[in-house]
Structures are given as structure tokens and as C-alpha cells.
Structure 1
Amino acid sequence: MDVVTEILLPFRWLVSAIMVGLHDGMSALGMPAASGWTWSLSIIGLVLVVRAALIPVYLQQIKAQRGMRRLHPDLKELQEKYTGRTDPLSRQAMAQEQMALYKKHGTNPFSACLPLLIQMPFFFALFTVLSGMAAAAVRGEGIGAMSPGQVVQFEEASVFGAPLSASLLHGSTGNPVSVPVLTILMILAMTAAQFITQKHIMAGAVSGGAQPDEAASAQFRLQQKLVLYILPVVFGVGGIIFPIGVLIYWTTTNLWTMVQQFVAEPFVRDPRAP
């Protein structure tokens, strides 16, 4: 067992346990246990559970974003102070003063990435769980908290004729048209949600109470543009190999992020900004 597998093992159990719990709960309420819609709703429920658990982290991110916006004028002044000074002592002094500014404003440059970083193990765990369904079903094995019977049930489940464990790249035993159509629609949906969210973040960075040259450094703007245009490409390419179940997860989480960004924007803006 390699290191990555060992790291993902508890996440595989947690992800599969949440899915099984939600699936069994919906089955108890009368939904067909073998239905692809029941399993799809359990995946959507997994997103809601994970993202709801991350709300405290997101609130901390909002606080950090406010701090970053208040920090920009001071950071720009610090960079001008050390312009042209490339000796080791000056670099060390600048780094120390920069860290002091981050501490003063209660923020750090990596705060915006924290929710995404926390989500990634869950995403990869779900990917490995769903990708291993076919092989586990053939061997009569369970995956994580899923019993062998539930693995077979999931492997046979479909929505609109597209098996949840199928992907565009690896094909499926289901409807030959439904898999590519559903895959393309979800890739477009999650890519559009990501693009709209990032555009909103970039617009907020400029209109958040500071002048454009103070709102972000050239490097920050470049990073934002890279995220704006590269992530949709990543989603598009990745969507080819992602099982339908993973696409359901990622589309739902991107839509959650988009709505959350619009709802939270008034709270992100610094009330002390002019």
C-alpha cells in the first residue's frame, strides 16, 4: 500500500460511510434503494455535509480576505521601501516586516486556498471509491463502508441511462448516448459555475474599497487570471476521466461555491472601506 493510498484510506471510509448513511436514510423514507437517483442524491448530500462542515473555515476565509484588502496599501509601501535592495539582509528584513503585516491584519496569502485544500482529500477519496466500483463488484468485495451488495447495487445504478460509475473515457455498458451527453452537460455546468465565481472574486478585488493598483499586485492579478482560465480547462479535461458520480459531486460543489460567493460578498467587503 503506497503513501497516498494510506492517506486517503480514512477519507475513503468517511466518504463511503456518509454516502451509505444518506442512501439508507432515503431508502427508509421510501426511495428505491437500487435507484440511481437515490445514490445520486446521496452524493449531493455528501457535498452538503462536507461544505456545511467547512462553513467555519469559509467564515475565517472571509475575515482573511478583508485583512488582505486592508493590507495591500501597506504591502505596496513595503515593496517600494525595499525596491532595488537585493542583498540577503534586506530580503530577510523585508520578509520579517511582511510577516508582521500579515499578523497585524490577521491574514495570510494562502487563506483563499484553505477550503479547496481541505476538500481535495474528499474529492480524491470519492474518485477512488467510484473508480473502483467495477473491479470490486466483479471480485464481490466492499469498498470502505459499502458492503459488497451495495457496491453491486451502485455499479448497476444509473440516471438517464448513464451508470454512475461510467466515464466518457472508459465508456459504459449503459446507453451509448447518455454517458457523453450527461458528461458534457455537467462539465459545462461546473466549468461555468467556476468561471462565474472567479470573475465575481476578481471584480470584488477591484471594487472592494481600494484603487485598482492598490487592490492587488501584478502577481496577484496574474494568479487570478490563471485561475480564471486554467481551472475550467482542468475541469474540462478531468471531466473526461471522471465517473458520472464524481461529476455530480464536483458540479454540485462548484454550484455551492458560486452561490456562497454571491451570498457572502456583502460580508467580504470591508465596512471600513471608503
Structure 2
Amino acid sequence: MDTIASLFSFITWPVSWVIVQFHKLYGAIFGPDTGWAWGLSIVSLVVLIRICLVPLFVKQIKSTRNMQVLQPKMKAIQERYKSDKQRQSEEMMKLYKETGTNPLSSCLPILAQSPFFFALYHVLSAIASNKKIGVIDQSLLDSARQAHIFGAPLAAKFMDSADKVEALGASLLDVRIVTAVMIVMMSASQFFTQRQLMTKNVDLTVKTPYMQQQKMLMYIFPLIFAVMGINFPVGVLVYWLTTNVWTMGQQMYVINQNPTPGSKAQDQYLGRLLKSITTHGEVRGRTKRNTVKRIVSKGPDRNDIERKFVTGLAKLGLAPQEDGSVAKSDTAVADAEGGAAQRRQQPKRQTKAKRHTSAGQQTGAKDTESSESEPTTSLQKKAPQDDKPKPAGKPASGSSRQAKSGQRKGPQRPKHPSKK
């Protein structure tokens, strides 16, 4: 880890400068040598970095959704050009270019903040080794080494020896308890972030291998963070826990305000939107109007959730407009009432006694019908079926059947001498 961190040593100076500026602010409030001053400085560094990465986060969301939509087409290309890998790659790149999708966009936020993460790790390692780094001089170095978060020094690790921890003015038990709790919280926040993405913000109508991969990552990522966390200093754990909580809150906001079409989150969002329109009689808010505008522009390509929303508006006598508003429409009311009338109505559940009574009535009616039809049947049997004479050499099929069954007995024509 130290070797990797040294590769990003070029960014340690700006990272250390930002931490020192925040430390001056919080040091004036909590005291310069306290864990609150240094801990909140790291938290503020995370917030500043994540605010700068918001545009990349938006690109990540769009890329993830586009990849979900393109999964069926990508699978079809793979099946079609199964034996030609070069043609398969060309068709994939062509599909990405036509749809404006970049597969690497989903990794941009993590890649962009990686240099800051390793630079912070490099700074904290230097503090643990009592070395000056960046803009942190000896006085700031002594202050940072005295800072403790719940009894654990900023530069201490879970795997540190007792002698090294005592040199930082703390006990090994306190360090391991604090780091273990932070590692568990870090892994749990990562798991919850991935879980809410899979359970709420995924199009349930599209079943692709991409969803299975995301489910695997939901369990693999927390394990990776748990294993790596035992080698992170307390200050780095503060950084990573803060960025996980930020990601979780940011994703929760996006899911509630701009959910993926066809997902459970979209069903909940449009349900809230319909309730708001029912209360106020109009679409309030720019984001909500843009949502209605997108649904109108889709036309017949709407999914089941969006059609359910339009039907709900029709029941209120409202119709969505192209500008994102809603207007009263008599046609919408008629369509809603007609659709409700055409629905299949389930019969009411009858008691056991009523079911037996109705079954007996049906049986009696069948017996009456069969008794009334019997005379007609007997008359039909007695009526001659055909008055035409049969050929001499071919006896009638009916007479032969009757002779075999024993219903009609009599002399039979002798066989021709040649047929004996």
C-alpha cells in the first residue's frame, strides 16, 4: 500500500494544504490538538472532493442506465457473432457510439477520487512515522500525532503492534475496537448502497447477466473493504466511511427524485406524483414537469408503471400535456370509465350451503332435459334410415351389425359355390 501511495505523492501537497486550512477553522472551535479538529478536517476534505465529482456522478448514473437498456442488444450481438470476435467488438463499439454510452463512465467517480485517497494515506503514514510532508511542518505534525478519535490516533492501524501504538500515546485495545467498528460501518454502508441500487433502482422487466454481476458485487465489495480496512489508518477509515455515507445519501436522493424507468423506485415516485396532483390539481416543480414530459414523449412505448400513472390521471379527468402539465379532459374520463367497465368482475364467493343448492338445481335441470329428449330419440331409432334397395352382393352394414349383436335373426343368403 505504501508503494502505491508513493505513486501519488505529487498530489500530497494540495491534499495536505486543504486539510491544514480546514484544521485552522475547526481548531479555533474545538482546539488545534483535538481529534474533532483533525477528524472534521478529513470529513470536509471528502465533502469538497465529492462536490467536485458531482458531474462525474451524473455521468455514472446515465452510463449505468444505458448499459442496462443495451444489455439485450449486446447479448444479441454476442450470439450473432459468436465465432467472430473482431466483428463482435466492432458491433459493440458501433452500438456504444450510436447510443452515446461509455462503459468506463460507471467507474469514473472511483477512479477520480483514487489519487486523493492514496495521497491522504501517504500523508497519514508520514504522520505515523513522524515525518514532515507537504505543508505539514513539525508543529502541525506534533498536533496531528496527539489527536485521537475515541481514543485511537489518526495514524494508528488495526494491525499495528502494541509498541507502535504506545508510541502514539494510545492502547492497542482502544485502537482495535475503534478500527473494527469503523470497518464494520464502512462495509455495511457499502452493502446498503449496492442493495438499494439492486432492489429499488433496476428495471425489473429486463433480466440480463448485468443484474447478476451487480448482485455479486453487492456481496464482494463489502468483503474487499473489510479485508483492506485492517491495513488502513484511522484517518483513512474516517475518509472512506465518510465517502461511503455520502455515496449512499447521494444515491438515495437520485433514486427518489430520478428513478430508473421500470423500477420499483419509479412506481413509488409516480405514486407520490399522482397523489400530489390529486391534492393540488397541477404538477408542481420543474423536476416533476420534466418527468411528465418524458412520459408523454414516449407515447405507446411507455412501460406498465407509466401507463398505470396515465390511467390514474384519466380517472381524475386529467390528461398529461407535452409541456409537462396536466389539463382536464372529458375523453380521459370516458376512457377511464370504459376501461373500468371492461374489466373482468370476479363473482362473489358463495357459502358451502349455497354451492350445494345450486349444484342440486343444475343436476335436476339436466335430468329433466334428458327425460324430455328420450321419446324423440326412440322415435328416431324406429324411423327407417334409407328406403333405397341395397346391392345384392353387399349386405347393408346396419343389418350385419344387427345380426352380430343378436337383435335380428333370420335366414341368411347362401354363399356362392365359388366362394365356399
* TM-score category of the 2 structures, normalised to the smaller one: 0.7 to 0.9
What does 1:93-108 correspond to in 2, within 5 Å?
Answer: 93-108=87-102
What does 1:1-274 correspond to in 2, within 5 Å?
Answer: 7-28=7-28, 30-82=29-81, 85-86=82-83, 90-135=84-129, 137=130, 141-171=131-161, 172-173=165-166, 174-204=170-200, 207-208=202-203, 211-213=205-207, 216-217=208-209, 220-265=210-255, 266-270=257-261, 274=303
Give TM-score scaled by structure 2 length.
0.57
* 1:142–1:46 CA distance, 2 compared to 1 (3 A): same
| Structure 1 residue 163: Cα displacement | 1.0
| Structure 1 residue 5: Cα displacement | 6.0
Letter of the 1:25 counterpart: L
Q: Is the 8 A contact 2:155 2:233 kept in 1?
A: yes
* 1:115-158 Cα distance to aligned partner (Å, 9 max, x none): 111111111111121122132x2xxx421121121111101111
Tell me the residue number matched to 2:374.
Answer: none
Q: Does the residue aligned with 1:110 lie in a helix, a strand or coil?
A: helix
Q: Is the 8 A contact 1:133 1:165 kept in 2?
A: yes
Hey, what's the Cα distance between the residues in 2 that align with 1:195 and 1:74? Answer: 30
Give TM-score scaled by structure 1 length.
0.86
* 1:169-210 Cα distance to aligned partner (Å, 9 max, x none): 1041213332111111111111001001111222346x42x5
Hey, what's the Cα distance between the residues in 2 that align with 1:157 and 1:9? Answer: 24
Please report the RMSD computed on the Cα atoms of aligned residues, expressed in angstroms: 2.2
Higher relative contact order (CA 8 A, sep 6+): 1
Hey, what's the Cα distance between the residues in 2 that align with 1:148 and 1:201? Answer: 45
Hey, what's the Cα distance between the residues in 2 that align with 1:191 and 1:4? Answer: 22
Hey, what's the Cα distance between the residues in 1 that align with 2:125 and 2:3? Answer: 19
Hey, what's the Cα distance between the residues in 1 that align with 2:7 and 2:14? Answer: 12
Hey, what's the Cα distance between the residues in 1 that align with 2:213 and 2:141? Answer: 41
Q: Is the 8 A contact 1:239 1:247 kept in 2?
A: yes
Tell me, which stretches of 5 or more residues in structure 1 are unaligned?
none
* 1:168–1:6 CA distance, 2 compared to 1 (3 A): closer
| Structure 1 residue 48: Cα displacement | 0.3
What is the identity percentage for the equivalent residue pairs of Structure 1 and Structure 2?
39
* 1:260–1:78 CA distance, 2 compared to 1 (3 A): same
Letter of the 1:22 counterpart: F
| Structure 1 residue 79: Cα displacement | 2.4
Q: Is the 8 A contact 2:152 2:174 kept in 1?
A: yes
Q: Is the 8 A contact 1:169 1:240 kept in 2?
A: yes
Hey, what's the Cα distance between the residues in 1 that align with 2:246 and 2:223? Answer: 20
| Structure 1 residue 9: Cα displacement | 1.7
Hey, what's the Cα distance between the residues in 2 that align with 1:188 and 1:269? Answer: 30
Hey, what's the Cα distance between the residues in 1 that align with 2:228 and 2:142? Answer: 25
Tell me the residue number matched to 2:322.
Answer: none
* 1:99–1:6 CA distance, 2 compared to 1 (3 A): same
* 1:226–1:145 CA distance, 2 compared to 1 (3 A): farther
Hey, what's the Cα distance between the residues in 1 that align with 2:3 and 2:34? Answer: 35
Hey, what's the Cα distance between the residues in 2 that align with 1:236 and 1:3? Answer: 21
User: What number of residue pairs does the alignment pair up?
Assistant: 257
In terms of Rg, which structure is larger? 2
